[in-house]
Homo-oligomer: A and B are copies of this chain.
Amino acid sequence: MPKRKPTIANEARIPTMADIARIAGVSASTVSRALAGLPPITEETRQRVAQAAKEAGYAVNRHARSLRLKRSRLMLVLIPNLANPNFPDLLMHIDQAAYDCGYDIMIAHIAVDPHRSDRYVDELLAGSIDGVLLTSNYCPPRILECIAAGRRMPIVRTLSPTPNLDGISGVQIDEVKAAYDVVDHLAKQGYKRIAHLGGPPKEAVAIARKQGWKLALADHGLPSSRDLFIQAGFRIEDGRQAAARISGMPPRPDAIFCSNDESAYGLIAALKEQGLRVPQDIAVAGFDDLSFSNVMDPPLTTVRLPRRDMAELSVRKLKALIEDETENDITVLAHELVVRASSLKT
């Protein structure tokens, strides 16, 4: 067995289609068609080419192919915040669905610098990327311009609903109705002063959830006075900070609907530190059904997002948009109210 020494001479040149052609004794076009399984190639030739490619460790050059085909089989996923567990879970399913569709995904996390997405939009418009998956309400301005100009764009938004924007496909749930369901559940449990811990005021989902809260209270003839709305945010820390304000309220609320699970975690932890019992002294509900909601003490009542379905459907929709001539449309999926101990009357 010859001992191989790493030298420059040893670093074999990366084989190209022409190399495979030479080895198999055919032309490059034949190699291309053989590997792609295209028509006018004998089974025997195909075998020979496949064998040569395998032995040489050959793989098609992604960039050469994309250049020629003007199609990259690349989707870009814009993610606002991976620290929120909603997104990795969604991303996981997006990735799998894209793989199943024959696409690869690039990701761009835009929490630090939203401006960053502009560069990728250029790439989309320049044809370097086939499509974009938005997982938040944010939409790069350049895209809005193009849509306003009536240009058809391979873009799908999911997780966050599209408030007042046409020309972009979407896969979402009825956020207002989902929030309504949570508050309706609390009201039916007999809670009378149901507060709402609001998310970031400009977030579409936060706005919708607040609206659902108001509607449900109105339907139950319960108050939704200003003091029952607590402006917070989506992070654990936001919930934690809100706790002080809540426990100090003169007539304390007997239930709180948090705009997401994470703020509910922080709220519950802080309420307990202040000696309040959940749900005996104050009931809490969240929104998202993250995996930790089930190990919280008490387990958290929340809304389960169909993240997997959202991911799969949005990828398929984007694929259709890229490949066929599907039109833009919005799909609304069903959500599910998950009732756990944090909201139950004892």
Q: Which A residues fall within an 8 A CB radius of B?
A: 4-6, 10-11, 14, 57-64, 66-67, 72, 74, 82-83, 85, 87-89, 91-92, 95-96, 99, 104-109, 111-112, 116, 122-123, 125-129, 149-152, 236, 240, 265-266, 268-269, 272, 291-292, 294-297
Contact = CB atoms under 8 A, between A and B. Distances in A.
B63 A67 contact: yes
Contacts of A82: 88-89, 91-92, 95
Given A59-B125, A236-B294, A83 B88 contact: yes
B236 A126 contact: no
Which of A67, A72, A87 has the most chain B CB atoms inside 10 A of its CB?
A: A67
List 9 tightest A-B contacts by C-beta distance, closest first.
Answer: A88-B88, A59-B126, A6-B150, A62-B128, A59-B122, A63-B66, A269-B295, A82-B92, A63-B63
Contacts of A295: 236, 240, 265-266, 268-269, 296
Given A96-B112, A297-B297, A150 B5 contact: yes
Which of A14, A88, A129, A149 has the most chain B CB atoms inside 10 A of its CB?
A: A88
Contacts of A122: 57, 59
Contact of A96 (B72, B85, B109): B109
Q: How many copies does the complex hold?
A: 2
A5 B66 CA distance: 30
Contacts of A292: 236, 265, 292
A161 B94 CA distance: 28
Nearest to A148: B4
- The binding surface of chain A is classed by DSSP as mixed
A11 B83 contact: no
A27 to B, nearest CB: 20
A219 to B, nearest CB: 32
A269 B128 CA distance: 48
A123 B62 contact: yes
Given A10-B151, A106-B107, 5 more contacts: A14-B126, A62-B72, A62-B128, A91-B109, A99-B116
Nearest to A68: B63
B291 A83 contact: yes
